[in-house]
Amino acid sequence: MALRPDVRYTARMRTDRRHRVPILAVLAATLAFPSAACSRPPKPLVAMDADIRSMLAAYDREAVGARKAAVLEGRGGYVTVGASGCDYADIGEALEKAPAGVFVFYLMDPLYSGVSLRLRRDASLVGFGALDTVIEGAPDPMDAEGGVLSIAPGVHAYVSGVTVRGGKVTDVPRRGGGVSNSGDLVMEDCAVVDNLATYGVGVWTEGRAELRRCAIAGNRGLRRPPADEYAAVDCGGKGAGLRVEKGGFALVEDSVIAFNRSVSSGGALHVSCEAGARLVDCVLFGNVAKDRGGAVDSAGGSIEMLRCTVAGNSAGAKGQAIFHRGKLSISGCLLADNGAGKAYYLATGSLGEYGAGVFGLNEGNFDASGSLPLAATGDAGYIRANARAIRSSYGAKRVDGPPR
């Protein structure tokens, strides 16, 4: 949004034109108010629509009906779940009663509401696209009675083509409003959106989680009750999009983590001590943290970021985009349009597995704020003149600039 010109400057120019003041007087007025006359707020280098449809990989929605019909006709080695013409009416019943040798569960209905699942068996939950298969705790997450999907220790789970939304966790441990994983989880072409919890709001994992072509968006942290804050009961709100707990690992590829809000740190991602995460071709956009690490908060574990775009994020304290304590390997990434101040902050304390922040790799990056060591940078004029080249050379390839 363009800022208004300075009121005094506008009035002066109108007076000059009306009374035909000599050109030198006009130039003098221009020099007296350079911010209004000469500078414009630069357009953001990266833009992203908050519509979840813009964050997901495209698929043929017109073919969904035919795909469902083929599944219903096949009936081989899997079960179907739906209100009409299926093996089981709801997902919980199917997981409980399906024969032990069955691992694939096709979700035939467009919406499963009032869901709070705990997977205690190996299972593949297969939907027909994140816009066409929805599992929700409640239409309004404030009305939900728990997290939507939980994977028990030792369980291998595969989830495809599904939106997980509308979960809320307020009982200790207050985590995993969308997905809580203590097993081995793979999610592909999924969305985890609009969930509530205190930490690890969208996805919380202490096991191994792999996410490909997914969107984790619009998840919001809830503060602990004041009595629990004072007594240090449960964790304090780190990681609104994704949290990797001690002993866990997350691989995130070609995905978007956007518009999440943390009541503490790590709007998009928090990696705990002795945990790890690898992000490849990902976009971390528009996330907010009350304290540090608007997008990424590393508390001492290991993070690898390859060809990622980290833009439009903000934090109330250190690291508008990245707070770095632990081991960080970052290559080919773009940091732009983050909150006022340093996009990148290097912690110098002795906490965590690695003590102060250390680099495993740091090469080929661009940081518009000039705070990431060794990264290319430039002033507003340079960025404006070279915006397209910067976007094509750094960061994920799925983003573009603002409309012209």
Per-residue pLDDT, 321: 98
**Looking at the domain assignment, is residue 64 inside a domain?**
no
Q: Are both 28 and 115 inside the same structural domain? A: no
pLDDT at 404: 47
Specify whether 338 is located in the same domain as 245: yes
- For residues 206 and 353, membership in a common domain is answered with yes
Residues 33, 110 within the same domain: no
Answer yes or no: is 276 within a domain.
yes
Determine the structural domain holding residue 348 and report its residue range: 52-56+106-393
Cα–Cα nearest to 133, from 157, 115, 152: 115
> Is residue 61 a part of any domain in this protein?
no
pLDDT, residue 171, reads 87
What is the three-state SS of the chain?
A: CCCCCCHHHHHHHHHHHHHCCCHHHHHHHHHHCHHHHCCCCCCCCCECCCCHHHCCCCCCHHHHHHHHHHHHHHCCCCEEECCCCCCECCHHHHHHHCCCCCCEEEECCCEECCCCEEECCCEEEECCCCCCCEEECCCCHHHCCCCCEEECCCCEEEEECCEEECCECCCCCCECCCEEECCEEEEECCEEECCEECECCCEEECCEEEEECCEEECCEECCCCHHHHHHCCCCCCCCCCEEECCCCEEEEECCEEECCEECCCCCCEEECCCCEEEEECCEEECCEECCCCCCEEECCCEEEEECCEEECCEECCCCCCEEECCEEEEECCEEECCCCCCCEEECCCCCCCCCCCEEEEEECCEECCCCCCCCECCCHHHHHHCHHHHHHHCCCCCCECCCC
Q: Please give the structure tokens belonging to residue 90.
A: 């709801």
- Cα–Cα distance measured from residue 228 to residue 314, given in angstroms and rounded to the nearest whole number: 27
Residue 333 falls inside a structural domain: yes
Same-domain check for residues 134 and 238: yes
Domain shared by 254 and 154, yes or no: yes
* 133 lies in the same domain as 246: yes
Q: Does 401 reside within a domain?
A: no
Looking at residue 201, its amino acid is V
Sheet arrangement for strand 261-262? 196-197, 220-221, 261-262, 288-289, 314-315
pLDDT of amino acid 53? 87
Q: Are residues 19 and 150 in the same domain?
A: no
**Is residue 306, in this structure, part of any structural domain at all?**
yes
Secondary structure of 258-276 in HEC code, one letter for each residue: ECCEECCCCCCEEECCCCE
Whether the full predicted model's pTM is greater than 0.75, yes or no, is yes
Asked if the structure places residue 46 within a domain, the reply is no
Do 20 and 144 lie in one domain? The reply is no
Q: Quote the number of domains for the chain.
A: 2
Do residue 14 and residue 152 come from a single domain? no
Q: Is residue 97 part of a domain?
A: no
pLDDT of residue 268: 98
32 and 111 co-located in one domain = no
Residue of 193, 225, 203, 375 whose CA lies nearest to 277: 203
Angstrom distance (rounded) from CA 147 to CA 390: 40
The tens place of each residue's pLDDT in the chain, 404 residues long, gives 333 233 222 222 233 333 333 333 333 333 333 443 345 556 899 999 999 888 988 899 999 999 999 999 987 899 999 999 999 999 999 999 999 999 999 999 999 999 999 999 999 999 999 999 999 999 999 999 999 999 999 999 999 999 999 999 998 888 999 999 999 999 999 999 999 999 999 999 999 999 999 999 999 999 877 777 767 766 778 999 999 999 999 999 999 999 999 999 999 999 999 999 999 999 999 999 999 999 999 988 999 999 999 999 999 999 999 999 999 999 999 999 999 999 999 998 665 566 678 999 999 999 999 999 999 999 999 999 999 999 999 999 876 666 54
d(CA 394, CA 390): 6
Residues 146, 25 within the same domain: no
